[in-house]
């Protein structure tokens, strides 16, 4: 079964703690992306990676960090510096970057920080 997976589906953390969200794909895609979605809003790009060992900041990268050590994996760490981390986080991948290809999305992780 090819696809993109995110885990866990729901995540609860106390304020001040870092938390890492997992994203794995077996589609052999070069590009991967992290988005944040707040209620009733569209998607905002946090980070993206067009190739292994390379990633770029999106529109709202502050308080987040990523790594891309393997083609299949693009974990996102929400640090304690992120002022309002409670949100729905979506990971996506595409064959290549540059917005010319459809993106395949994972099911999302809903993070709640109290």
Partner 1 sequence: SQQGEEDPQALSIQEGENATMNCSYKTSINNLQWYRQNSGRGLVHLILIRSNEREKHSGRLRVTLDTSKKSSSLLITASRAADTASYFCATKGSQGNLIFGKGTKLSVKP
List of residues contacting partner 1 (CB under 8 A): 33, 35, 40-43, 45, 48, 50, 56, 58-59, 88, 90, 92, 97-100, 102-108, 110
- Return the exposure string of 74-106: e unless at least 16 CB atoms fall within 10 Å of the residue's CB, then b: bbbebeeebeebebebbbbbbeebeeeeebbbb
Cβ distance to partner 1 smaller for residue 80 or 104: 104
Cβ distance to partner 1 smaller for residue 73 or 80: 73
CB of 64 to partner 1, least distance (A): 15
Q: What are 102's two structure tokens?
A: 């459809």
- Asked whether the CA dihedral 42, 23, 32, 49 is positive or negative, the reply is positive
Cβ distance to partner 1 smaller for residue 80 or 108: 108
CB of 45 to partner 1, least distance (A): 6
């Amino acid at each position: 079964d090819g696809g993109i997976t995110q885990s866990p589906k729901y995540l609860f953390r106390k304020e001040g703690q870092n938390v890492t969200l997992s994203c794995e794909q077996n589609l052999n895609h070069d590009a991967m992306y992290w988005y944040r979605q707040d209620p009733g809003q569209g998607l905002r790009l946090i980070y993206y990676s067009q190739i292994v060992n390379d990633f770029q900041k999106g529109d709202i990268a502050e308080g987040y960090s990523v790594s891309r050590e393997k083609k299949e994996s693009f974990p996102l760490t929400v640090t304690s510096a992120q002022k309002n981390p409670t949100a729905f986080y979506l990971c996506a991948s595409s064959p290549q970057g540059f917005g010319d290809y459809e993106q395949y999305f994972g099911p999302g992780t809903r993070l709640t920080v109290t």
